[in-house]
A and B are shown apart, each in its own frame.
Chain A
Amino acid sequence: MSLELIVAGAMIVSLMFYALLGGADYGGGVWDLFARGRRAEAQRTLIVEAIGPVWEANHVWLILVVVILFTGFPRAFAVIATALHIPLTLLLIGIVLRGSAFTFRTYDSKRDRVQQRWSRVFSIASVITPILLGVTLGAIASGTIKVENGVVTSGFVSSWLAPFPFAVGFFALSLFAFLAAVYLTLETKDEKLQEDFRRRALLSGGAVGVLALTVFLLSGMGAPSVRAGLTASRWAVPLHLATATSALGAFYFLWKRRYALARLCAACQVSLILWGWALAQFPFIVEPDITINSAAAPRATLRLLLIALAAGALLLFPSFYYLFRVFKGKTAFSVLSEESKTE
């Protein structure tokens, strides 16, 4: 395997962790916005306590994606940042508002109207930001960002202001909300709260299915070559089977209230969707003019970057393990719900 391929793989791995961890933090914000009923306050408190200690660290996965992109594939970064200037800028505003509102709410200890307003800013930004993230990825996959001699020729609007990128945006939102709901069933021992989030998980899981179908249907027009990859490749059928199995597994275990297994299935499902997209788009970073090879930095840079990534991973994974072990207890890495009950 070539160096650039390993670096590209590391970038997708980072994006996957961002979706699985940072994505769920956004999803938490979604359920904050839709907190309803007698237990609305309890739901909000649970979300805050679940996100609080970990969201800053989860957020750094996005930084890592960006850094790998501009170090390993500088030309691709320049093209993406130019063509998608507008959605990326909006995405940043969402990130800024979400993060600061969450912190302001946490550290302004007075429980008054001001705090409720921060809560609202946090939850609305948590809904909008994933959509913009999805729009960005959808536009990258769509094949409408055209580059000639290193210059973006397709303008600043048409590539993302289209049905397909927005379908991907809502799909991303539904995935994050689904992940969050599934994770949250394991964050409490209160069975009523568990039921609340179980119901939300099943609902948003349904939405994931509908939106996945929508994205797939729109991809015929919106992202033809990715569609071709997803249907005609040798790996297409096994991948779809694996994804479908994970999705059905998640539903089954939610239904059976075996939440740890449901979490495992949901995480697999989201990861497989991401890898499916990455494989379908291979070897392009930006369809159809920027490939992994054409945008890759020189070998000296890639080699050093890989060494840094490997050393960083050695430092990072134990630290992350410790963080989750401290705040999520034994359930953090378990696949057995039973343990969560005895804890």
Chain B
Amino acid sequence: MTDLLAARSQMAMSLAFHIIFAAVGIAMPLLMVIAEWRWQRTREEVYLTLAKRWAKGTAILFAVGAVSGTVLSFELGLLWPEFMSYAGAIIGMPFSLEGFAFFTEAIFLGIYLYGWTRVRPRAHLLAGVIVAISGALSGIFVVIANAWMNSPTGFEIADGKPVNIDPLAAMLNPMALSQTLHMTLAAYAATGFAVAGIHAFLLLRDRKNLFHRRALGIALLVGGVAALLQPLSGDLSARAVALNQPVKLAALEGQFKTERGAPLRIGGVPDEAAGETRYAIEIPYALSLLAFHDANAEVKGLEAFPRDQWPNTLIVHTAFQVMVGMGTLMMLVALWGAVRWWKRRRQDLTENKWFLRALVLAAPAGMIAIEAGWTVTEVGRQPWIIYGVMRTKDAVTPMPGLVVPFITFTLLYIFLAAIVVWLLLRQVAASPREVTAGKESKERKEEGEQGVVA
């Protein structure tokens, strides 16, 4: 393994690990706040139990997200010092703002988690709202920095160095809006569906459990709305990519030839040597239509770009198919839920066994879509670290033996992931059983005030 490949692998692994915790850290506080708000409005004890349970899950995931995020902020320099040396002054700004958003999040999460009996109910709820907002802002700022790597603006180049730096223009780069929107919605959709899937699974075994029914309702509301909106933001993203990174669009669609009225390919295996994508289902004109909102628009194929500027087409195209497939699955399930809810308002969604099964099936879909989408945007930008400006191989540290930290962090993260899953399973296993509308108070007693320390 070359040092460059080791550095790329370590960065990819660190991000793949962190992104799950980051997404959950964005969306989970919203679920928890909705549950607490319902508790304050309805005084149904089950909502309080739910808020406290979700808060515990959030605490575990936030802590791991915080430390793995710390690792990333250092890794920018440890692995890519030339990139940071070049870009620090241009895109340090969103990272600084992220720092403050993260500060706010950590402070008010501390108040939320440990302050159940120490601050007034209204202040407690407000602390949760601040956590939810600052969590979303943290994610948005970091994605803005990534968007800049895809569409670098806010500087000029003289003698290979950036001059006339305008950090605000860099933040307002052309990919910023579409990427932040897409990622934020993805976080809500993925987390909402993951949580809904867990509670649907438990509901299938314990059909009358009020705790899980309430939980499912909130998670599905957040995840479902996001999953229904996501195709719109996907359209925005596709058009931004078509405009700003045509070679990435060509790679993710497996489009080798430049043509008018380009077809949309579903599935298929791109063959770089042969210059074509085999075994794909082609929908005529659809790509031109989607990318440029014009069925006859010209789509640039990979052939329009020098061979050494192609990303790995097989990986990018496959990852894109996976992302879209998972997104579509979630959208359809959300649509099914929305239609059912609309048609028979009086009937609880959780009555339908098949719907619950669909939710279980869709539980991992969002997280898979996030990983796949991240692969599309990162691998799709290669060989560049700053699109069109700096190549990844020119950014890497001269440090030898990078395979060692790569393996070390991989093992460390596998270990942490296993522990987190085990801890969350223990949490889920300890869910209240057989809570029906009349029997809540007993559960409440068992839960006690352990939320303060436990």
Residues of A whose CB lies within 8 Å of any CB of B are 49, 52-54, 56-57, 59-60, 62-64, 66-68, 70-75, 77-82, 85, 88-89, 92-93, 95-97, 99-100, 102-104, 106-110, 150-152, 156, 297-298, 300-301, 304-305, 308-309, 311-312, 315-316, 319-320, 322-323, 326-327
Contact = CB atoms under 8 A, between A and B. Distances in A.
A104 B81 contact: no
Contact of B89 (A67, A109, A301): A301
Contacts of A99: 63-64, 66-67
Nearest to A65: B99
Given A71-B93, A71-B95, A92-B70, A85 B78 contact: yes
A59 B85 contact: no
15 contacts: A52-B110, A59-B66, A60-B99, A60-B102, A74-B85, A74-B89, A82-B77, A85-B78, A88-B78, A95-B70, A95-B71, A96-B412, A100-B67, A151-B398, A298-B163
A63 B450 CA distance: 31
Q: Mostly helix, strand, loop or mixed at chain A's interface? A: helix
Nearest to A56: B106
A67 B419 contact: no
A78 B77 CA distance: 6
A64 B103 contact: yes
Nearest to B398: A82
Contacts of B454: 106-107, 109
A308 B165 contact: no
Contact of B92 (A56, A109, A150, A305): A305
A85 B405 CA distance: 10
Contacts, number: 208
Nearest to A311: B100
Interface stretch (B111-119, B187-195, B325-333, B376-384): B111-119
The 7 closest A-B pairs by CB, nearest first: A71-B92, A74-B88, A81-B77, A297-B89, A78-B81, A103-B63, A78-B85
Interface of B: 56, 59-60, 62-64, 66-71, 73-74, 76-78, 81-82, 84-90, 92-93, 95-100, 102-104, 106-111, 113-115, 118-119, 163, 165-168, 397-400, 405, 408-409, 412, 416, 419, 423, 426-427, 450, 453-454
Contact of B100 (A79, A104, A106, A316): A316
B66 A67 contact: no
Given A59-B70, A81-B74, A104-B419, A67 B63 contact: no
A82 B405 CA distance: 14
A21 to B, nearest CB: 12
A64 B115 CA distance: 25
A78 B394 CA distance: 13
Contacts of B109: 56
A82 B168 CA distance: 28
B97 A81 contact: no
Given A74-B85, A95-B67, A82 B397 contact: yes
A312 B78 CA distance: 27
Contacts of B111: 53, 322-323, 326
A301 B88 CA distance: 9
A90 to B, nearest CB: 9
Given A75-B85, A78-B77, A70 B95 contact: yes
Contact of A77 (B68, B85, B93): B85
B168 A304 contact: yes
Contacts of B62: 56
Given A66-B73, A66-B74, A82-B397, 18 more contacts: A52-B114, A52-B453, A63-B99, A70-B88, A75-B85, A77-B84, A78-B82, A80-B77, A92-B71, A103-B59, A107-B56, A301-B165, A312-B96, A316-B103, A319-B104, A319-B107, A326-B118, A327-B118
A216 to B, nearest CB: 30
Nearest to B169: A300
A150 B168 contact: no
A85 B399 contact: yes
Given A49-B453, A88-B78, A301-B93, A323 B416 contact: no
B413 to A, nearest CB: 9
Contact of B110 (A53, A77, A150, A309): A53
Nearest to B114: A53
A73 B400 CA distance: 25
Contacts of A312: 96-97, 99-100, 103
A103 B110 contact: no
Contact of A56 (B63, B90, B400, B426): B63
Contacts of A323: 107, 110-111
A297 B88 contact: yes
Contact of A305 (B87, B96, B102, B399): B96
Contacts of A82: 77, 81, 397-399
B60 A57 contact: no
B77 A57 contact: no
